[in-house]
């Protein structure tokens, strides 16, 4: 899942032999969904060319304080404002010293001084330079000011010495940078989410299912974890990896999902979100053996499945309850009816049956209804939609507590 989707990241590359690893950092961050721009100091350009970073970022590279020298026309203040986060990798001893003393002598140091976004430093230098009291005093000062660090790691250095001072491995950056966006919006809140389809068995090899990929629910679980919630995800069969920071309970049928969900309510949940596409009906009987192709027509008798969302909202340990409504017509009217009938706090309605949103698509658009009010979350990648929906849920959940 693209945890850094649409995040704007500025990578500052300073002078050091470890700069050869920085293009790989750009690649990793981009493949996690981030929009990455690169700024280089003149010392960095002695080690890696501007062209390399242009190729891996797909963007102009910033090298000078003077806008006229770049094609993009973004000056240092715009760049500082543009970035959701700044990563300095490698951060040389000299650059660390410059920002610790608040210098603005080139583009890179000026951006750091002008930015209000979080800044992550990945130091890389000779192990004696790292140990030096002057460097350590600068690091201490920067930590006190809220600068974040990745590394350095220990090992053999380019100069032949062994010790602390190696650039953190490029693979570590996606996780470390994702953590920079963690918020406390749902800190300590327990959130239970259902996701994915259910499979209702007909015989040992066949089932009735639906087109849900589980992505909407998995994105909600990832974002809830990003907001520091304690997340449990009850999921039907999907091809998705377990979201980072969530406990996953895998089920197949609607009845299994029902049981698992109600069991989780015993340990009191604060918020429930029903994003699963639960089968409304299940075969009355599951054949013991594979049904043979003998008859011209066959009839499958079906019975109603329990309604998980309704059961959660009627439960003595009822959490703040949010439903989804998958509609092909009369979206608002049908969603409002579901909200009233199931006594929900909120409902997120999506138009389904379209190829480019809803079931099985990477995108969605939601119309959210709550307490005589409504919001529209425009069509976007599901991770972004999940961020907007969870911000709305967090706001309404907190208001319901007052
Ligand atoms: O999984 P994706 O491919 O990412 O697609 C996302 C989605 C389209 C599946 C998702 O956005 C969505 O709309 N989920 C709800 C689908 C659905 O079953 O909607 P519904 O209108 O039939 O049901 C209304 C609500 O009741 C839903 O919250 C559903 O989870 C819940 N329900 C329904 C039946 C049942 N037996 N138990 C339930 O809890």
The domain segmentation of the chain, as residue ranges, is 2-180, 190-401
Q: Ligand 1 site: residues with CB under 6 angstroms?
A: 194, 196, 212-216, 254, 274-278, 280, 305, 307-309, 323-326, 338, 350, 352, 358-360, 364
Unique residue bearing structure tokens 């300590």? 188
The class that CATH gives domain 2-180 is alpha beta
Asked if residues 279 and 303 have their Cβ atoms less than 8 Å apart, the reply is: no
| Ligand 1 binding pocket mutation candidate from 209, 212, 358 (most atoms within 8 A of CB) | 212
Cα 319 to Cα 253: distance, rounded to the nearest angstrom: 23
Sheet harboring 373-381: ordered strands across? 246-250, 230-235, 190-195, 271-274, 320-327, 346-351, 363-370, 373-381
Dist. CA 324 → ligand 1 center (Å) = 5
Asked if residues 246 and 221 have their Cβ atoms less than 8 Å apart, the reply is: yes
Q: Which residue in 55, 77, 134, 159 is the catalytic one?
A: 159
Stated pTM of the model:
0.85
- DSSP class per residue in 371-393: TTEEEEEEEEEHHHHHHHHHHHH
Residue nearest to atom 24 of ligand 1 (CA): 325
| Whole-number pLDDT of residue 3 | 73
Cα 227 to Cα 181: distance, rounded to the nearest angstrom: 9
Helix 22-31 crosses helix 173-180 at what angle (to 10 degrees)? 60
CATH code 3.90.1330.10 for 190-401:
no
Unique residue bearing structure tokens 């010392």? 43
| Whole-number pLDDT of residue 72 | 57
| Whole-number pLDDT of residue 69 | 47
Dist. CA 273 → ligand 1 center (Å) = 10
Dist. CA 31 → ligand 1 center (Å) = 30
Asked if residues 38 and 52 have their Cβ atoms less than 8 Å apart, the reply is: no
Which atom of ligand 1 lies at the shortest distance from residue 214's CA? 1
Residue among 209, 344, 224, 323 at smallest CA distance from 275: 323
Residue 159 is among the residues annotated as catalytic for this protein: yes
Question: Is 190-401 the same fold as 2-180?
Answer: yes
Which atom of ligand 1 lies at the shortest distance from residue 197's CA? 1
Peptide bond into 155 cis (omega under 30): no
Q: Which letter does DSSP use for residue 44 in this model? A: G
Long-range CB contacts (< 8 A, 24+ apart) of 298-305?
Answer: 300/202, 304/280, 305/198, 305/200, 305/254, 305/255, 305/258, 305/278, 305/279, 305/280, 305/281
Q: What is the pLDDT along the chain (402 residues), one digit of tens a residue?
A: 667 888 999 999 999 999 999 999 999 999 999 999 999 999 999 999 999 999 999 999 999 887 654 445 578 888 999 999 999 999 999 999 999 999 999 999 999 999 999 999 999 999 999 999 999 999 999 999 999 999 999 988 888 888 899 999 999 999 999 999 988 889 999 999 999 999 999 999 999 999 999 999 999 999 999 999 999 999 999 999 999 899 999 999 999 999 999 999 999 999 999 999 999 999 999 999 999 999 999 999 999 999 999 999 999 999 999 999 999 999 999 999 999 999 999 999 999 988 899 999 999 999 999 988 999 999 999 999 999 999 999 999 999 988
CA 50 to centroid of chain Cα atoms = 30
Dist. CA 288 → ligand 1 center (Å) = 29
Asked if residues 201 and 254 have their Cβ atoms less than 8 Å apart, the reply is: no
Residue nearest to atom 35 of ligand 1 (CA): 307
């Amino acid at each position: 899942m693209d945890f850094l989707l649409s995040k704007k990241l500025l990578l500052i590359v300073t002078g050091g032999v470890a700069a050869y690893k920085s293009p790989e950092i750009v690649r990793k961050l981009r493949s996690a969904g981030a929009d990455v721009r690169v700024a280089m100091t003149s010392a960095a350009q002695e080690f890696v060319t501007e062209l390399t970073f242009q190729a891996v970022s797909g963007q102009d590279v910033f090298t000078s304080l003077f806008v006229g020298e770049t094609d993009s026309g973004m000056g240092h203040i715009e760049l500082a404002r543009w970035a959701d986060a700044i990563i300095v990798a490698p951060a040389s001893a000299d650059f660390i010293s410059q920002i610790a003393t608040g210098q603005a002598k080139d583009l890179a140091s000026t951006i750091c001084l002008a930015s209000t976004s979080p800044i992550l430093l990945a130091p890389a230098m000779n192990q004696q330079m790292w140990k030096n009291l002057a460097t350590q005093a600068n690091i201490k000062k920067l930590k006190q000011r809220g600068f974040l660090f990745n590394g350095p790691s220990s090992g053999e250095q380019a100069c032949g010495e062994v010790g602390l001072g190696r650039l953190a491995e490029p693979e570590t950056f996606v996780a470390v940078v994702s953590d920079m966006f963690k918020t406390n919006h749902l800190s300590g809140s327990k959130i239970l989410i259902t996701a994915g389809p259910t499979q209702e068995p007909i015989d040992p090899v066949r089932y009735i299912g639906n087109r849900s990929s589980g992505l909407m629910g998995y994105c909600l679980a990832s974002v809830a974890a990003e907001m520091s919630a304690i997340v449990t995800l009850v999921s039907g069969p999907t091809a998705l990896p377990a979201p980072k920071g969530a406990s996953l309970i895998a089920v197949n049928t609607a009845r299994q999902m029902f049981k698992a969900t109600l069991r989780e309510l015993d340990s009191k949940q604060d918020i429930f979100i029903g994003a699963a596409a639960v089968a409304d009906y299940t075969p009355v009987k599951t054949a013991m053996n594979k049904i043979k192709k003998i008859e011209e027509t066959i009839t499958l008798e079906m019975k109603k499945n329990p309604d998980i969302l309704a059961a959660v909202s009627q439960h003595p340990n009822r959490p703040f309850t949010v439903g989804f409504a998958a509609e092909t017509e009369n979206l608002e009217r049908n969603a409002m009816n579901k909200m009233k009938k199931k006594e929900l706090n909120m409902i997120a309605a999506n138009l389904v049956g379209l190829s480019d949103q809803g079931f099985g698509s990477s995108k969605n658009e939601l119309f959210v209804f709550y307490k005589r009010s409504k919001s529209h979350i425009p069509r976007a990648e599901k991770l972004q939609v999940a961020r907007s929906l969870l911000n709305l849920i967090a706001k309404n959940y907190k208001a319901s507590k007052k």
